[in-house]
Structure 1
Amino acid sequence: MNEQQRPGPRRAADGRWARSLLAVALSAGAVLPAGTAVAQTADEPGPSATAIALAVPSRATGAPLTEGHQGFSVESADFAHGFLTTDLMAQRMRTLGSHGVLRLGGYSMDLVWPAFGSWADAPAPKEAIGGTVDQADLDALRKLLHATGWKATLGLPLKAVIGPAKLKDPTKDPAPQVTLDQVVAEVKAARDTLGDDLLSVEIGNEFDNVTTLTGAEMWDTMKSYQAAIRAAVPHAVIKVAGPSANTASTNTRLGEVASAALSDTSVQPQDVLSELSSHFYPGSHCGTSTMTVPQLMSSDTYLRTRTKLEGIRAVGEEFGGRIPMTVNESNSASCSGQPGVSDSYATALWSLDYLLQTAQNGIDRVEFHTNTAAVCGDFKARTSADYPISYRYYGAFCAADQARLDAHQLSAAPLYYGLWAFSQVPQGRFVDLGLADSDLARVRAYGVESRDGTLTVVLVNVQDPAAAGSTDDRVTLSLPAEYRKGRQTTLRSSAPEGLASLDAGRITLGGRGVTASGRPSGRPVTAAVPVDLHASTVVVPAGTAQIVTFTR
């Protein structure tokens, strides 16, 4: 992965690469004379363009798209090893917006040693392979949150607290012997240090994967943690995020915990829960499982994801919408991602599509699991002495080499470009564009109407431009009469490998890349989109996304 963004001409088969030369010059750092208009020529459809007709209704009646919908999930081990610093992370978070959430957790949640209170000077046992979390880590986190406007949720150990009798396999990655009192001491220190920037605490990671707790037992466990925390920190209301059930396509475990909470007459669920959290990865690299780029971008994956999200939303509706529903750990493929897929350009388009799909289905927030301080491609296997601190193929950023990592110069991975593109969509409410399921193999389409009446339409052509038979999409939008003009911003890669490209340096959003400092390069490049007789036609080349803003 390259430090500088180096977009080149598009493959010759497009026949339209010359029109991107301005975008190339800008993203390479060219300086335009003062007053120069920044625009791009909209793509013309190729001879094999597929016509798709969509209609924008006069009223927005869908789910809201709110600020802070996207965030990051990082391993507790990364936190324990001091990687969540302002120099390393702040600008990369700020570029995505100022209202994100940083979840500290993951599998290493049970493998760290909290050194607070009476345990501040206690040596960490050998089982604490995730490292030691201490006051210096909290201080660095406070600076990072203040520098970005983001907030954090704190993951807490579960396995040692409930004891080996309730573990599926006590011999697998045995946890250090952390007590509930020790956990409470960490939460008290976190609250004293972070204040209201501590959104909530999370009890364990995927309890259904590592314990034999039933849904009712997990609910009782969550209540017991919160009661102990409340007794130690009576001046603050600290709620619990959970149950963080696993990535299965069903929501059985989430439903079991929800049912236990709803039938509990001793408390109001919203007094205990800050959010009902789930995990979801559409693919897997666990064991012998594999995933391909075509599978990631397929309509089958989209539809399976929709079913999962609809199930989460249904659970949330049982609580009358009083508790946010989150997917607080997610990415393309579980078990550190699929090489050649999770680090490919395809994930830029997939993550943009996935974020919009989750928001449209009523999910309040999605946090992408990522590494924080890794050399690109320097994967550490589970048997490595460095585990669980490892490069993950689905990371949002990484350093080209150790020298650049030491200099805090992280390159944006393809995934990051999709998150950045999503951040360009303003808050509002979704409108139903009427895209048929039969068109999902070619295009994904979303519309969001802002409070000021601006309409943002996002069109993603999920076809691989490097594949034979791929087509441009010629999307005709029927618009309400008040929309008179539009402008579009393009997410694309100039790499000839198409969706399979691993060169994030060939990706641009509006003609810009992300520099090693985490800042966008150059000035944004947009193109005018004509509106004629209450209709507009947008050409979406294969392997691109178009973000089109229509104004009244």
Structure 2
Amino acid sequence: MHRRGGGILALALAALALAASAALAAGAAAQTPLQATVSPATVGQPMAPGFVGLSLEYSALHVYTGRDPLQVNPVFEALVRNLAPGQAPVLRIGGGSADATWWPVRGLLPPGGVDYRLTPGWLRTTKALASALGARLILGVNLAASRPALAAAEARAFVHGIGQPYIQALEIGNEPDIYNVIPWYTDKRGRVFFSRAGNYNFSRYLAEFARFRAALPPLPLAGPATAGLTWLGGLNQLLAAEPRLRVVTVHRYPLRACVTNPSQPGFPSIPSLLADQASSGLAQGIAPYVAVAHARGVPLRLAEMNSASCSGKRGVSDTFASALWALDTLFNLASVGVDGVNVHSLPGAGYELFTFTRLFGHFLAFVHPEYYGLMLFAQAFPPGAQLLQASAPGGPVKLWATHAPDGHTRVVLINKDPSAAHEVAVSVPGASAASLDWLTAPSAAATSGVTLGGQTFGGETPTGLLGPPQTVPISAVAGAYAVNLPPASAVMLTQ
């Protein structure tokens, strides 16, 4: 059995982190500090509740919740709440399994690509989860089967078995822009089937969307749930034609685990994940479509996002580098107006956020590094907070600052350099006594040993909760804070 996370391990790791920081401070004394300035001017809209959510597969939900609606996995519930503290979290259930799932309909056989059957037990457990969390659900319905009656049966089951108050929207299909590129299924004879013909395009999708919308119960809809950006050129046309489309959903991954040639674009590696293209580049790519959606009064969510498509890559997606990537990427997405992000987690995948086991009937979770980055973002950018204008040092050191309704200014510094420490002098208006919460790990490639605020979930957590943060006090000198960033680390300064 792995050791459980808690006091002794947390204190030891905190001591190591502080010692490392002190050593780096001494070594950096001769360096010229990087300069950063935070302005009191706010930019963008206040943070909306439920910005950080999860994306889950139909067929995998019970792995996280358990199968007893009277005793849903409390560790999973806590881990969800950590990402949306005091808020109604947004859970998107769909992914590839959306087009492989059905609610049995009398007299109909499941199509060839359908291999997962929804049950009353699944509905009861999902309702119990939504009730416990006060969650809002974006639920995918099957488009690949090209049978509106099947999608309508799923939707009616959701309304009756989960309840309309918990349903934010029905997402029609999953990544229809690659229906004619990625096979839907392979039969027992090895024959490969695509859900759409080679000439399937956005115009045909628009017509299908209308047919499915007419068959579905009168609930808000989400889409187009695209894998790429090409079809988003028609987003304004889609929104004009479909007033029930109340959430624009897009899926984004900066890297592709299916790419095995290191010389090809998208090949997953730690340097590629820490590169600006994987974070600010991803956000800039989606920014024009955020503007289109907002012009129509519709929010845009990245309803599925993680480090690398094709289930992620071990040695990249499960390393501490993914925590630094996630932290910086969420800030970048918020800065271009994205209204929320659902981080995809799949049991056994390289990018899974947590792995559950059971011991004597009790759930235990190993929390992977990326989750810590999501958690720090949630702490640094609470609902109602706004981004502050700031001049960042540039290079591998990133800076983000927020001002919250509680009066606190929070400055997040991220050192994406895996091998070098950097000293930063941060000028903040009204600089006074402040505190530091560190996000650290043994290295960018580490898959364990992560601490946030001196605390860790350890080898396994029976609660999903971290202890109180062990903050480090810091004082300003001449209006600036001197912060020494170890290699591959991040820190939140709270004033």
TM-score using structure 1 length: 0.76
Deviations 1:43-88 (A, max 9, x none): 7353375622122222212343222111111112224x67544216
Out of 140, 155, 160, the position equivalent to 1:155 is 140
- Residues 278 and 405 of structure 1: is their aligned pair in 2 closer, same or farther, counting only changes over 3 Å? farther
How much has 1:313 moved relative to structure 2? 2.4
Provide structure 2 residue ranges, at least 5 long, that are not aligned to the other structure. Answer: 67-71, 180-195, 262-266
Aligned to 1:433, the other structure's residue is in SS state strand
Q: Deviations over 1:211-237 (max 9, x none)?
A: 45432332333233222224xxxxxx5
In the TM superposition, what whole-angstrom CA distance separates every residue of 1:333-386 from its partner, at most 9, and x where no partner exists?
Answer: 000001100011111111111111111111111111102xx4xxxxxxxxxxxx
Return the alpha-carbon distance in structure 2 between the equivalents of residues 432 and 83 of structure 1: 39
Higher percent of residues as strand: 2
Matches within 5 A, 1:215-254: 215-230=202-217, 237-246=218-227, 248=228, 251-254=229-232
- The yes-or-no answer on 1:488 pairing with 2:470 is no
Change (3 A) 1:537 1:327: same
SS of 1:95's partner is helix
Indicate the residue corresponding to 1:258 in structure 2.
236
Q: Deviations over 1:363-415 (max 9, x none)?
A: 111111102xx4xxxxxxxxxxxxxxxx100000014xx65597421210111
Q: In 2, are the aligned partners of 1:91 and 1:517 still within 8 Å (CA)?
A: no
Q: 2:120 aligns with which of 113, 126, 135?
A: 135
Quote the residue 1:187 is aligned against: 155
| Number of the residue aligned with 2:18 | 19
Helix, strand or coil for the counterpart of 1:523?
coil
Quote the Cα distance in structure 2 between the aligned partners of 1:218 and 1:491.
Answer: 44
For 1:284, give the aligned amino acid: R
State the one-letter code of the partner of 2:413.
L
Q: How many Å apart are 1:253 and its aligned residue? A: 0.8
Task: Give the secondary structure class of the aligned counterpart of 1:356.
Answer: helix
Which residue number corresponds to residue 394 of structure 1? 351
Is the CA contact (8 Å cut-off) linking 2:270 and 2:316 kept in structure 1?
Answer: yes
Residues 395-474 of structure 1: pairs in structure 2 closer than 5 A = 395-399=352-356, 404=359, 407-425=362-380, 426-427=382-383, 428-435=385-392, 439-440=394-395, 442-464=396-418, 467=419, 470=420, 472-474=421-423
Instruction: For structure 1, list consecutive stretches of 5 or more residues without a partner in the other structure.
Output: 22-39, 162-178, 231-236, 375-390
Q: Does 1:72 align with 2:47?
A: no
- Cα distance in 1, alignment partners of residues 213 and 17 from structure 2: 60
Distance of aligned partners of 1:325 and 1:127 in 2 relative to their CA distance in 1, 3 Å threshold: closer
Go from structure 1 to structure 2 and tell me whether the alpha carbon gap of 1:533 and 1:51 turns closer, same or farther (over 3 Å shift): closer
Post-superposition Cα deviations, 1:132-179, rounded to whole Å, max 9, x if no partner, equal 112221110111111122221111111112xxxxxxxxxxxxxxxxx3
**Structure 1 residue 529, shift from structure 2 partner:** 2.0
For 1:123 and 1:215, the matched residues in 2 are separated by 29
Code of the aligned partner of 1:59: A
Q: Is 1:533 equivalent to 2:478 in the alignment?
A: yes
Residues 18 and 296 of structure 1: CA distance in aligned 2, closer, same or farther (over 3 Å) = closer
**Residue 309 to residue 432, structure 1, CA distance change in 2 (3 Å):** farther
Change (3 A) 1:128 1:227: closer
CA displacement, residues 270-296 of structure 1 (integer Å, 9 cap, x when unaligned): x31121111110111115353110111
Report if aligned partners of 2:123, 2:158 keep a CA contact under 8 Å in 1.
yes
1:51 aligns with 2:33: yes
| 1:272 maps onto 2:247 in alignment | no
Distance 1:49 1:295 in 2: 27
Whole-angstrom distance in 1 between the partners of 2:234 and 2:151:
25
Contact 2:324–2:490 (CA under 8 A) maintained in structure 1: yes
Deviations 1:468-502 (A, max 9, x none): xx1x2222222223x43311111111x3xx11112
Alpha-carbon contact 1:216-1:260 (below 8 Å) kept: no
Say if 1:155 and 1:530 are closer, same or farther in 2 by CA, change over 3 A.
Answer: same
Structure 1 equivalent of residue 319 of structure 2: 344
State the 1:324 CA deviation: 0.4
Q: How many residues align?
A: 455
Q: Aligned residue for 1:335? A: 310
Aligned amino acid, residue 46 of structure 2: P
Point out the more displaced range, 98-107 or 516-525: 516-525
Tell me: CA distance 1:284–1:2, structure 2 relative to 1, closer, same or farther (3 Å): farther
Q: Secondary structure at the match of 1:187?
A: helix
Partner of 2:185: none
- Corresponding residue number in structure 2 for 1:110: 99
Q: Deviations over 1:189-224 (max 9, x none)?
A: 212332211110011111000145432332333233
**AA partner of residue 77 (structure 1):** S
SS in 1 for 2:163: helix
Equivalence for 1:326? 301
Please tell me the root mean square deviation across aligned C-alpha atoms, in Å: 2.8
- Whether the 8 Å contact between 2:102 and 2:114 is mirrored in structure 1 is yes
Give the TM-score normalised by structure 2.
0.84
Q: Which moved more, 1:207-216 or 1:358-367?
A: 207-216
| Alpha-carbon contact 1:226-1:238 (below 8 Å) kept | no
**How far apart are residue 260 of structure 1 and its match?**
4.0
* CA distance in structure 1 between the aligned counterparts of 2:351 and 2:95, rounded to whole angstroms: 14
| Alignment correspondent of 1:377 | none
| Contact 2:143-2:172 at 8 Å conserved across structures | yes
> Hey, what's the Cα distance between the residues in 2 that align with 1:413 and 1:392?
11
Alignment partners' CA distance in 1, 2:172 and 2:464:
35
Aligned to 2:170: 201
The whole-number CA distance in structure 2 between the counterparts of 1:287 and 1:296 is 14
Contact kept, 8 Å, 1:64 with 1:360, in 2: the verdict is no
Task: Say if 1:63 and 1:359, in contact at 8 Å, map to a contact too.
Answer: no
Work out the CA distance in 2 between the residues paired with 1:364 and 1:74.
Answer: 19
2:81 is aligned with 1:94: yes
Aligned-pair distance for 1:124? 5.4
